[in-house]
Amino acid sequence: MHLRYDPDDWRPTQGHSRLRANTGRLNPNSILVWERQPYRLIEVLERDQTDWPQNYQDAWIKHGMPDPAAWSYRPRVVVIQLDDQPQSKPLHLLCPDSTYWYVLPEHYWVCRRCQEVPPCRHVHTEAVVERASERMEEEMAILPGVCHGCREPISRRQKSFTFPGANLIRPDLGDGSAIFHTRRGCYGFLDSYDKRWAVAEPGRARLFYCPHTLTEHNDGSSECSGPACVADGREEDLVQHAGWVRHHPQLKAGQGCWCLAAAAA
């Protein structure tokens, strides 16, 4: 599983505020961040299954109807109150037990003007706009025939892949101009563009993703469970599969993958 990190997502800037805990691990009297403001946790309540909203009931059935009391997605009620307003009306928030919260230390700071946990909306928006402007300048500096990932020229000896259709990074370069190295160092850029390219048009499938399972045998061969794998004719090691199985040698002869049959004979 690949961890997703988006620099434009909001995160508290205070050092210890990077601590996160899911609903099931919250301690009473903790200070939580809700809508960028500090709230004191009063309690976390269970909700009887007969009172679950329909979307939770449907999800529970879809997941095989596990033990309701131990299901990580079961709905719970988090009761919080503004930390600096002890007389304010508490909020009752319904959320899954697995929901993650930012937890603040007892000594924290807020924006003088907004009373929000830094970065406040204004500062955060300015940072997002500044990053967008920097990305725009970098993208406008891409020249024809240059890898759109590493921004280095692609020589004749280097393997590359050109996406058909409009260039989603530099539309002014024309159709069929979005090109990437197919080396491992540029894979992240190619994969990101592949996802963006697929959603650009309804019904368009990714070019470097197969929704089937890839099986690797001990003799070095591999096969896909799908009728037509997108890896055929492309850099096979760059194509992601929904599932992946690798056969390992077994201690006893005759067990394991069929490709060990010759060695066991």
Please count the residues of the chain. 265
* Shared-domain flag, residues 233 and 162: no
Residues 36-57: tens digit of each pLDDT: 999 999 999 999 999 999 999 9
Domain end (from 207, 225, 245): 207
120 secondary structure, DSSP code: P
Q: What percent of the chain has pLDDT over 90?
A: 48
Q: Is 256 exposed, middle or buried (0-12, 13-18, 19+ CB in 10 A)?
A: middle
* Residue 181 to residue 139: CA distance in whole angstroms: 16
Domain end (from 121, 152, 180): 121
Any domain includes 99 = yes
Is pLDDT larger for residue 114 or for residue 42?
Answer: 42
What pLDDT was estimated at residue 1?
31
Please state the pTM of the whole predicted model: 0.55
Q: Is 205 helix (H, G, I), strand (E, B) or coil?
A: coil
Confidence label for 233 from pLDDT (cuts 50, 70 and 90): low
Confidence label for 5 from pLDDT (cuts 50, 70 and 90): low
Weakest mean pLDDT among 17-21, 189-193, 198-202:
17-21
Q: Are 163 and 140 in contact (CB under 8 A)?
A: no
The CATH number covering residue 71 comes to 2.30.30.30
* Residue 13 to residue 40: CA distance in whole angstroms: 19
Amino acid (one-letter) located at 134: E
Any domain includes 127 = no
Range of the domain at 252: 208-265
* Shared-domain flag, residues 102 and 45: yes
What pLDDT was estimated at residue 262?
41
Q: Is the pLDDT of residue 3 over 60?
A: no
